[in-house]
Structure 1
Amino acid sequence: MREVISSLTFRYIAKYLLVLSATVFLVMAGLYLLFSYNYFRQLSASIVEEQQTLELVYRGQGLAGVSQYINDQRETQLLDRFHYLVSDQAGNKVAGDLPEGTSYQEFERGWLGFELALLKWGESVEVDFIARGQDLGGGYRAIIARSFEQAVYQGRLVLATLVRTMVVTILLGLIGGYFAAARSLQRVEWLGREMGRIFRGNPSQRLDAEREKGQVRELAQIMNKMLDQTESLMHGVRSVSDNIAHDLRTPLSRMRNQLSQLHQDLPAGGREDVQQLIADCDSLLTSFNAVLRISTLESGSRYAGATEVDLRQLLEDVVELYEPVAQECGVELQLASLPAASCRGEADLLFQMFANVLDNAIKYTPDGGAVRVELVPTTVDGAPGHRVTIADTGPGISAEHWEDVFRRFYRVEPSRSSQPGHGLGLSMAQAIAHYHGGKVDLQDNNPGLRVLITLP
């Protein structure tokens, strides 16, 4: 939920809803102001018209006619009617239904405002009025008032309806935006999972762009083109290195054989230089064979065989093989209590992967240091798996070089380059791990380096 709410889609929808709600509120407020203006203009016009009518009645029929007119109006107009107060020169009430002594608030041009308690539905309700005074003549003065309660009621009704509508709109919009953002996030996560699956598995696979629509489909197609271009470039680089390794391996093998023959023919005193040349040829042949093996593993798909390999026994064999090497280097080789574990794979390749990593760990651990091998259960893509950890107490590798050390022939300068090697050990380990559907990660061991090999 936190990811969905913080996503760009949800935030965009939330901002859009807020702007839309504010716009609707301003529009409705403007309409209400327009309605109120027209209502009060009509209300004031009706009061002025009633003043003129009352003045004509007084001129024609006198005070008795005014009283009769007021009584007739009270009987015929039950709702939203006029209210009257006719007083003499001394201020005494002589007609009308408004009480004497009402406190008025005076406005410009003779308009008055006051509040009066009226009995409605058995309860006393405070009602606002707007009124205007009129001299009838003969010392009589009339005040004609009319309630604008209807406008207040309608305004409150409009405001309450507007607020409720806005709240419901925002809630429904946020709920809809949440599901829309979740759907969008799912499609983006699908792209991420598929790209990760392609990089961890077979790089020749492509995204199924036909299952998507719109911009996600276009993005998937662009990613497929990028994968095509990347694969083409990588294939070109690998082809160059593979061709070089393949073309040089044959003459190197021939040269080694000739040097071996020469070594046998020479007297004992002159064999040392030839032996060194043979060792150099063996080293170069080992590098070329490793490059070709890595290319073969990286170009193939994931291992799909059914051979079960006993990981515990395999690790015990690797540790037993390197115990003399560790003792010779003054390194303590520690083997944690290994649980029973097995995985599908090729035993020879897995043995070579663990041997490469363990050989590096012993090689770069100083005298008096320690190398620890551990096997623990874990999960790989939601399924049960295994993690092998080989940790040393050597100089380690800084985090900025963790990605680079998996490149072919990469050598870290200067701490780990003093030892002999070709920079292919971790590249080979990673290729074998990917071939088996696993991965190789690096961590800081403080001090030293911790290599984590995860296998399904």
Structure 2
Amino acid sequence: MSRKRQTRGGRSIFGQLTLASIGIAVAAVAVLFAVTTITIQRQTRASLSATVSTDLAGLIDIYATGGREELLRRVNDRQDVVSLEGRRSHYLVADGAGRRLSGDVAHWPALSAALSEEGFVTLAGGTEAFAQGAKLAPDLQLLVAREYDRDRTSLLVLSGVFLAVGAGIVGAVALAAWFTSRHLARRMDAVNAALGAAADGRAASFPARQRGGDEIDEMAGHGARLLARQAQLLKAYKQVSEHVAHEVRTPLMHLDNRLGTAMQLRPEAPGGPLGQSREDIRGITTMLDSLLDIASAESRRGDLAGLAELDLSSIVTSLADLYEDSAEDAGLTLDTRVTPGITMLGERMQITRLLSNLLDNAIKYVPEGGRVRLELSQGPRIVVEDDGPGIPRDQRDRVFERFVRAGAPGDRPGHGLGLALSRAIAQRHGLILRLGDIPRGTQFILEPAP
């Protein structure tokens, strides 16, 4: 039997949950960082605005009480003073045209003194500051500015610390999500392995229940109960089938014996009613045996018990030798092509019966002068092909069902169970039996299931 190791297709749902958790953590840190940065920038601007406005108001009071000369003197005194916040001050007293009268600012920035406009400006030498202007008289205007490089440095340090902490949080979330997803994935793998083993007919062992239990434990419990229930139903089905078949077969055998005795006492011509009745009884008995065989093969699907390593090349060669005479008697040609050394895991009797059914069908339906081909290649892959009338297109989908018979020309009586039994045997061995698509005749292909 060919077995392929199955892998989980696509991305694991637990991997997707891990990525989603990391994404949410990154998004949350990014949003929090943006909100914090914007808030700090607004607070810094508000603080600068309050400091500059207070200093400007003080100088305006000095001008109002001491006049222009006192203002110019005070401005010169304040140039070298550093505020308590660590922000260096800059001043400019200019005439109505913006020409400097006093202070360390060379040119009037793009701020309206008449409107007491404030904002961030760049002074000479590239110094960045926050400034506010005011018009004191038609020919006099005042500008007060504060550097904010220390505020910007503090913001950069805070941003770095925030990003480091945020990276730590994201890393912690990622690690926790990874460990959690691995734990859940291992538990799900154990449940899947148990269900896969049950599907293959092997012993299924579900993982032990976790402390407290959760949804996975609940699913494992339901799976265990379902498999136990299924096994019980299959056992009951098999027992009932065997019992019914035995109970039906026994009176049929007795009836056949009585008819045989009656024919000995009162012989009749060939084809008489008693002889035909005995043929019908044997047909019913054969049908019951086939149904039991189908049920047995289906119930043992994937079960490795009773399977052994077979020399498939030897079996096919022996069948070819056996059917060569039958094909010759029917006026047919049997072409055989067998690759040597091919083995598989299976039951010799069932594999022989499967191939015999296919060869019987080919020889039965192909008219005299036709050709039957039997081929075995690596895989293993077996092809039984003929150039007979073939199977009608509208019956190809149902030809493997029970009691379905293709209405081919020259059809002979039967119960329509041969191909159903062949497919059940194939599935029991992990193989698929399907119809090939050829221009003329019928082609059956037997190969490992994907």
* TM-score (structure 1 length as normaliser): 0.74
> How many Å apart are 1:157 and its aligned residue?
7.0
Q: Residues 359, 5 of structure 1: CA spacing in aligned structure 2 closer, same or farther, 3 A cutoff?
A: closer
Residue number among 178, 190, 207 corresponding to 1:209 in the alignment: 207
Moved more, 44-53 or 10-19: 10-19
Listed one character per residue, the Cα deviations across residues 118-161 of structure 1 (whole Å, up to 9, x for unaligned) are 54xxxxx36253322252x7964321122455566666777788
Aligned equivalents of 2:191, 2:411: Cα separation in 1: 43
Residue number among 388, 411, 415 corresponding to 1:422 in the alignment: 415
Aligned equivalents of 1:307, 1:3: Cα separation in 2: 29
Aligned equivalents of 2:138, 2:298: Cα separation in 1: 115
Pair 1:48-2:53 in alignment:
yes
> How many Å apart are 1:196 and its aligned residue?
3.9
Q: Residues 3, 200 of structure 1: CA spacing in aligned structure 2 closer, same or farther, 3 A cutoff?
A: closer
> How many Å apart are 1:198 and its aligned residue?
2.3
Query: Paired residue for 1:383?
Result: none
Do 2:206 and 2:224's aligned partners in 1 also have CA atoms closer than 8 Å?
no
> How many Å apart are 1:355 and its aligned residue?
1.4
Q: Residues 235, 140 of structure 1: CA spacing in aligned structure 2 closer, same or farther, 3 A cutoff?
A: same
Letter in 1 for 2:55: E
The 5-angstrom pairing of residues 345-360 of structure 1 reads 345-360=346-361
Aligned length in residues = 434
Pair 1:395-2:401 in alignment:
no
Pair 1:452-2:446 in alignment:
yes
Q: Residues 196, 269 of structure 1: CA spacing in aligned structure 2 closer, same or farther, 3 A cutoff?
A: same
Query: Paired residue for 2:80?
Result: 75
Query: Paired residue for 2:431?
Result: 439
> How many Å apart are 1:181 and its aligned residue?
6.2
Aligned equivalents of 1:358, 1:191: Cα separation in 2: 43
> Per the alignment, in what secondary structure is the counterpart of residue 206 of structure 1?
coil
Listed one character per residue, the Cα deviations across residues 195-225 of structure 1 (whole Å, up to 9, x for unaligned) are 34323325xx434232787433322322222
Q: Residues 414, 345 of structure 1: CA spacing in aligned structure 2 closer, same or farther, 3 A cutoff?
A: closer
Query: Paired residue for 2:314?
Result: 313
Query: Paired residue for 1:340?
Result: 341
Listed one character per residue, the Cα deviations across residues 363-386 of structure 1 (whole Å, up to 9, x for unaligned) are 4556666543332333xxxxxxx4
Letter in 1 for 2:446: L
Moved more, 71-80 or 47-56: 71-80
Do 2:90 and 2:144's aligned partners in 1 also have CA atoms closer than 8 Å?
yes
Aligned equivalents of 2:378, 2:384: Cα separation in 1: 15
Moved more, 422-431 or 178-187: 178-187
Q: Residues 117, 43 of structure 1: CA spacing in aligned structure 2 closer, same or farther, 3 A cutoff?
A: closer
> Per the alignment, in what secondary structure is the counterpart of residue 275 of structure 1?
helix
Do 1:114 and 1:129's aligned partners in 2 also have CA atoms closer than 8 Å?
yes
Aligned equivalents of 1:3, 1:270: Cα separation in 2: 64
Q: Residues 85, 343 of structure 1: CA spacing in aligned structure 2 closer, same or farther, 3 A cutoff?
A: closer
5+ long unaligned stretches in structure 1: 120-124, 379-385
The 5-angstrom pairing of residues 231-310 of structure 1 reads 231-267=231-267, 269=269, 272-295=272-295, 302=303, 304=305, 309-310=310-311
Letter in 1 for 2:37: Y
Aligned equivalents of 1:166, 1:35: Cα separation in 2: 17
Pair 1:86-2:97 in alignment:
no
Do 1:242 and 1:291's aligned partners in 2 also have CA atoms closer than 8 Å?
no
Residue number among 104, 110, 118 corresponding to 2:110 in the alignment: 104
Letter in 2 for 1:52: A
Letter in 2 for 1:130: A
Q: Residues 132, 280 of structure 1: CA spacing in aligned structure 2 closer, same or farther, 3 A cutoff?
A: same
Letter in 2 for 1:46: T
Query: Paired residue for 1:381?
Result: none
Q: Residues 37, 349 of structure 1: CA spacing in aligned structure 2 closer, same or farther, 3 A cutoff?
A: closer
Query: Paired residue for 2:4?
Result: none
> How many Å apart are 1:97 and its aligned residue?
0.5
Q: Residues 431, 93 of structure 1: CA spacing in aligned structure 2 closer, same or farther, 3 A cutoff?
A: closer
Aligned equivalents of 2:328, 2:87: Cα separation in 1: 108
Do 2:115 and 2:134's aligned partners in 1 also have CA atoms closer than 8 Å?
no
The 5-angstrom pairing of residues 114-263 of structure 1 reads 115-119=121-125, 125=126, 127-135=128-136, 140-148=140-148, 191-192=191-192, 194-202=194-202, 205-210=203-208, 214-263=214-263
Letter in 2 for 1:284: I
> Per the alignment, in what secondary structure is the counterpart of residue 209 of structure 1?
coil
Aligned equivalents of 1:238, 1:34: Cα separation in 2: 76
> Per the alignment, in what secondary structure is the counterpart of residue 90 of structure 2?
strand
> How many Å apart are 1:99 and its aligned residue?
0.5
> How many Å apart are 1:314 and its aligned residue?
1.3
Do 1:4 and 1:178's aligned partners in 2 also have CA atoms closer than 8 Å?
no
Aligned equivalents of 1:416, 1:237: Cα separation in 2: 37
> Per the alignment, in what secondary structure is the counterpart of residue 106 of structure 2?
coil
Letter in 2 for 1:341: I
> Per the alignment, in what secondary structure is the counterpart of residue 210 of structure 1?
coil
Do 1:401 and 1:412's aligned partners in 2 also have CA atoms closer than 8 Å?
no
* TM-score (structure 2 length as normaliser): 0.75
Aligned equivalents of 2:127, 2:14: Cα separation in 1: 50
Aligned equivalents of 1:227, 1:278: Cα separation in 2: 43
Do 1:201 and 1:434's aligned partners in 2 also have CA atoms closer than 8 Å?
no
Moved more, 45-54 or 250-259: 250-259
> Per the alignment, in what secondary structure is the counterpart of residue 36 of structure 1?
helix
Aligned equivalents of 1:184, 1:328: Cα separation in 2: 65
Listed one character per residue, the Cα deviations across residues 137-196 of structure 1 (whole Å, up to 9, x for unaligned) are 796432112245556666677778878988998799789878876776676565555434
Query: Paired residue for 1:95?
Result: 102
> Per the alignment, in what secondary structure is the counterpart of residue 131 of structure 1?
strand
Q: Residues 390, 90 of structure 1: CA spacing in aligned structure 2 closer, same or farther, 3 A cutoff?
A: closer
Question: Relative contact order (alpha carbons < 8 A, sep ≥ 6): 1 or 2 greater?
Answer: 2
> Per the alignment, in what secondary structure is the counterpart of residue 98 of structure 1?
coil
Aligned equivalents of 1:90, 1:292: Cα separation in 2: 113
> Per the alignment, in what secondary structure is the counterpart of residue 336 of structure 1?
strand
Moved more, 444-453 or 311-320: 444-453
Q: Residues 118, 186 of structure 1: CA spacing in aligned structure 2 closer, same or farther, 3 A cutoff?
A: farther
Q: Residues 209, 179 of structure 1: CA spacing in aligned structure 2 closer, same or farther, 3 A cutoff?
A: closer
Letter in 2 for 1:424: L
Aligned equivalents of 1:55, 1:207: Cα separation in 2: 89
Q: Residues 397, 107 of structure 1: CA spacing in aligned structure 2 closer, same or farther, 3 A cutoff?
A: farther
5+ long unaligned stretches in structure 2: 1-6
> How many Å apart are 1:444 and its aligned residue?
3.1
